Amino acid sequence: MALFFLIPLFTGLVGGYIFKKCTDEIGHFIGIFALVCIVLSLVLAPWQILLLLLICTLMTTKKLLQQNEYKMNQISEEQEELNSGENREQILSQPQDAEVEIIRKYQHIIY
């Protein structure tokens, strides 16, 4: 099994780390380079590793879908309780005016 795919993979991981730590424009260029390196490493990876990655992706996707389905069921049950006749009057009597403060940011600086 050829291990040539490890070179762009580690380069991409180091580039991703620099992207997360750097706040300058060069960090964005390094992030794009890291993404290209990771895609290149997936192209060069042997089929055994790609198959393992596919299985892991399918298993985690299934678990995430089950968690989201459980949360959606809880939210729908709460909304049904809130939409009942007794609670409807309480909801309508609550004030609707709420001030929202807008926080403006540019490159992690609040102004």
pLDDT in tens, 44-93: 999 999 999 999 999 999 888 888 888 888 888 888 777 765 555 555 55
Instruction: Give residue limits of the domains in the chain.
Output: 1-45, 47-84
CA distances from 108 to 11, 99, 111 (A): 26, 24, 10
pTM reported for the whole predicted model: 0.53
